[in-house]
Amino acid sequence: MRDQRVTLITLGVDDLARSTGFYAALGWEPAQETEGAAFYRLDGMALSLFGRAALAADQGRPGAALGTGAMTLAQNFADRAAVDAAFARAEAAGAEVLKRPEAVFWGGYSGYWADPDGHVWEMAHNPFWPLDVDGRLALP
């Protein structure tokens, strides 16, 4: 089994219904929903939404104030137009715009938005990182 892997990303959220509504507006469909969590299928892994206080307790530190923003999840796209389209879709879903897509110093094109709990997503095109037809990335 490979050591370098991530099988589940969990986002702590303050209002599960608000968050599932936001991701539904992005076009995401949960594979499983329970009273306190929602699970989305990714490629070879999953993403879940889980109450922020419940996550703190699950981590063994009930009552801790968990922060956001220092971990970014990114979607890379095949071209700039696809970045713009994805960004517009997020904005229409109610995302907080942090930085609109723009050409960046490393030769790519990138913008950032935050979900209702402050979790940050980057929408990017990196001409040096080719994607396969399913949008999977293999670092050169």
Residues that bind a second copy (CB under 8 A): 1-12, 26-29, 31-32, 39-47, 52, 55-56, 58-61, 64, 66-78, 82, 98-99, 104, 110, 112, 117-120, 122, 124, 131-140
| Half-sphere exposure of residue 11: CA atoms within 13 angstroms, side-chain side | 28
Closest to a second copy by CB, 7 vs 17, is: 7
Least distance CB 25 / a second copy (angstroms): 12
For residue 126, which of 88, 75, 67 has the smallest C-alpha distance? 75
Least distance CB 107 / a second copy (angstroms): 13
Closest to a second copy by CB, 17 vs 65, is: 65
**CA-to-CA separations, 96 to 88, 99, 125, 137, in angstroms, rounded:** 11, 9, 20, 26
Least distance CB 26 / a second copy (angstroms): 7
How far is residue 59's CA from residue 70's CA, in Å, rounded to a whole number? 18
